[in-house]
Amino acid sequence: MTMMQDEWVEIGGIEDIPRRGARVVKSPVGDIAVFRAMDDSIFALEDRCPHKGGPLSQGIVQGHAVNCPLHNWLISLETGMAQGADEGCARTVPVKLQGGRILLGLSALISRAA
């Protein structure tokens, strides 16, 4: 990881994550799942399903959502909200692409956890 602009952390390139795939990034507040959709959109969520804590990074990406591998809950990659469920939300992490490089806004995540 490389620090950029005081608040963004570079974690690699878009080509490091296959389309419809994910990678896990270790952070001071826990694992973060970074997803690449088929349209090359990049998303980042806490790697923990709000239902039973399943690793979202091991789920199947469908459009801009991911299925939890434990109980098949569908989680929005854009909002972290469980779709079709009464409650539950995975924490989102700010993410952006800059010149093909993926940057995470970890300072925002750390300040929310404090």
Domains in the chain and their CATH numbers? Answer: 2-109 (2.102.10.10)
Q: Is the pLDDT of residue 63 over 70?
A: yes
Grade residue 103 by pLDDT with cuts at 50, 70 and 90: very high
Per-residue pLDDT for 90 more than 70? yes
What's the pLDDT at 7?
Answer: 83
Whether 47 contacts 35, CB under 8 Å: no
pLDDT at position 4 is 42
Print burial letters for 91-102: b (CB count within 10 Å at least 16), e (below 16). bbbebeeeeebb
Q: Radius of gyration of the chain from Cα atoms?
A: 13
pLDDT mean over 73-84: 91
Q: Calculate mean pLDDT across residues 51-74.
A: 92
Q: Considering Cα of 38, then 41, then 46, then 50, what sign does the dihedral take? A: negative
The count of other CB atoms within 10 Å of the CB of residue 83 is: 11
Residues in the chain: 114
The per-residue b/e assignment along 7-40, b for 16 or more CB within 10 angstroms, e otherwise, is ebbebbebeebeeeebbebebebeebbbbbbeee
